[in-house]
Amino acid sequence: MFQRKIGKQIAILAVLIIFWASVQAMVGLGIINPYYELNLILIGINIILAVSLNLINGFNGQFSLGHAGFMAVGAYGAAIITLKTQLPFGLALLFGALLAGIFGILVGLPTLRLRGDYLAIATLGFGEIIRGVIVNIDYIGGAYGLSGIPKLTNWTLVFWLTVLTVIVIANFVNSTHGRATISIRENEIAAEAMGINTTKYKVMAFSIGSLFAGLAGGLHAHYFYTIQPGTFNFLKSFDILVMVVLGGQGSITGSIIAAVGLTILSAALQKLAALRLVIYALLLVIVMLFRPQGLMGTKEFSLKMFRRKTKDKEGKQHGTAIGQ
Amino acid sequence: MALLSVSDLSISFGGLRAVSNLNLELNKNDLAGLIGPNGAGKTTAFNMLTGVYLPTEGDIKLDGKSLLGLKPYQINHCGVARTFQNIRLFGDLSVIDNLKIAYHSHAKYGVWGAICRLPGFYSGEKEMYEKSMELLKIFKLEHKWEELANNLPYGEQRRLEIARAMATQPRLLLLDEPAAGMNPQETHELMEMIHWIRDQFDLTILLIEHDMSLVMGVCEKIYVLDYGQIIAQGTPEEIKNNRRVIEAYLGEEAS
């Protein structure tokens, strides 16, 4: 129970490698055309965004609406490094992510005293301020944005960075530090009385979330040649929020499922343009009506779920195994 | 020397003086009660002791060290733990997670250890699990360790709250109406348990309670609070026969 399950880890790694390699091969052979590849990369970026926002909104219970702002910081931070210096892409991504993480601390310290609606408005405001500031700095292209960013993001990088994000956040959540973070969502007064430094863990969750949003921003910037402040507006934050709420606040696998599903849906509905948002909104209303806790609630998807269910059934049939 | 000494503690909310000139002295291993009619300021006093409210005047000293101005989590680290009048468990988490969270300040691994899953993580988690299970056994909740705290019956939620407070490894335990909502049988078991943990863990306990059978049964020293002021203090026998206490509870004519 309390040791590394090497066998399981190797199995997961093997599955990941097989998946990555088969997609890579299909791209090489032309079975996956550039349009599908674009969507695969968008899925990866959206998973990073959704899982990182889930840490703030779902696990820590702090309702943030400014995630796109941190994505913008990461996108611009990384793009400036590749455009203005000769440093390698990896360092550019790291710089963008760290810059976004630092912004997360700076924004988090004053705003995380607020609760509920007030925090939502404050983070929304900060997201817009970040965008407003970018519009007014000519060095980084102002309202026109930055263009001519080399296309350095590829499937391999997106895939493994997505895996890294999920592992880091899942490991954080499933530790004493993650439990401290979750206790703040459950009952802040009790958490504080039980010796949890609530400010520290709120700012920590917020900055880790921002850091990965910045990473997603860096990947985004280096795939689409050009970035504009308008890309990172409130609607983008809202998009990410929808994924988190739909998947279940407090479920990493829920966020992944929702990010994959919604990215595919929005690609499939591209032709319908205006109707897309209607269908999107309708879907959200339906899910909220029938499953207000989101697809997964706070549970995680795992193969054990099925195993336990079959076990329960067997137990009932034999009339034993009560309270197992 | 006294473990907890409270001197001239007062707090005003606007014009209302909720607690005024509260003096309290608890020695190590004391089991004391704080009683008084509704609205007398008992919970307010607890909130000042645990750093939720900042007193307007006076001082709180734990083992000679002032707790004034410390945040609630810092006061907890100094060795003061509490329960709440209206139960405040981490309801959507399992029983054992509630305890593990309380053990957090004694965790043996850092954030990096958790993210990189260093060996310290596994041994740290194992230790937390074992310690939590031990406590659950003491509080007779071990068979429900996987259940959500919200799904426990009321009496067990109260017990879990005490267990959670114990998990922070306190020297001073403050219980805010631990028997509220319990039936006589449960109250009786609670009395025995309070006695037992005091002896077993070398604790000092201060409790607020309305159930006089519990207060008179376990407390060795009782403070009576009315309109924010201490009107009497002494052994249960002394309190039972104190005129001012009877007046406060039943009105003047009755005495």
B2 vs A35, B203, B221, CA distance in Å? 75, 13, 14
Q: Which among B137, B178, B134, B173 is positioned nearest to B154, based on CA atoms? A: B178
Closest residue in B to A324 (Cα–Cα)? B143
Q: How far apart are the CA of B143 and the nearest CA of chain A, in angstroms?
A: 9
Say how far apart CA B87 and CA B176 lie, in whole Å. 10
Neighbours of B251 (CB within 10 A): 9
Q: In chain B, which residues have their Cβ closer than 8 Å to the Cβ of A249?
A: none
Q: What is the pTM of this model?
A: 0.90
- How many domains does chain A fold into? 2
- Tokens at residue A298, please? 């706070």
Residue A18 included in any domain: yes
Q: In chain A, which residues have their Cβ closer than 8 Å to the Cβ of B115?
A: 168, 171-172, 175
Interface touch A176/B89, C-beta < 8 Å: no
Residue B255 included in any domain: no
CA neighbours within 13 Å on the CB side: how many for A308?
7
Say how far apart CA A98 and CA A207 lie, in whole Å. 9
pLDDT of A315 > 50? The answer is no
Exposed / middle / buried, residue B78 (Cβ in 10 Å: 0-12, 13-18, 19+):
middle
Say how far apart CA B110 and CA B120 lie, in whole Å. 9
For residues A99 and A243, state if they share a domain.
Answer: yes
Whats the size of chain A, residue-wise?
Answer: 324
Q: Percent helix, strand and coil across chain A, each rounded to 5?
A: 75, 0, 25
Residue B216 included in any domain: yes
Mean of the per-residue pLDDT values of chain A: 88
For residues A235 and A262, state if they share a domain.
Answer: yes
Interface touch A187/B116, C-beta < 8 Å: no
Residue A151 included in any domain: yes
For residues A147 and A79, state if they share a domain.
Answer: yes
- Tokens at residue B200, please? 């077993």
Interface touch A176/B114, C-beta < 8 Å: yes
Quote the ipTM score: 0.90
* pLDDT at residue A320, rounded to an integer: 36
What is the domain-level CATH number for residue B239? 3.40.50.300
For residues A207 and A248, state if they share a domain.
Answer: yes
Q: What is the pLDDT of residues A38-50, one digit of tens each?
A: 999 999 999 999 9
Q: What is the pLDDT of residues B105-137, one digit of tens each?
A: 999 899 999 999 999 999 999 999 999 999 999
Task: Provide the domain limits for residue A178.
Answer: 37-318
* pLDDT at residue A317, rounded to an integer: 42
For residues A166 and A283, state if they share a domain.
Answer: yes
For residues A170 and A308, state if they share a domain.
Answer: yes
Task: Provide the domain limits for residue B240.
Answer: 4-250
Residue B215 included in any domain: yes
pLDDT of A231 > 70? The answer is yes
What is the domain-level CATH number for residue A84? 1.10.3470
Q: What is the pLDDT of residues B38-89, one digit of tens each?
A: 888 999 999 999 999 999 999 999 998 999 999 999 999 999 999 999 999 9
B180-185 contact pairs (CB < 8 A, 24+): B180/B85, B180/B210, B180/B211, B181/B154, B181/B155, B182/B154, B182/B155, B182/B158, B183/B155, B184/B213
- How many domains does chain B fold into? 1
Closest residue in A to B105 (Cα–Cα)? A195
- Tokens at residue A54, please? 């889930």
Interface touch A193/B143, C-beta < 8 Å: no
Interface touch A176/B100, C-beta < 8 Å: yes
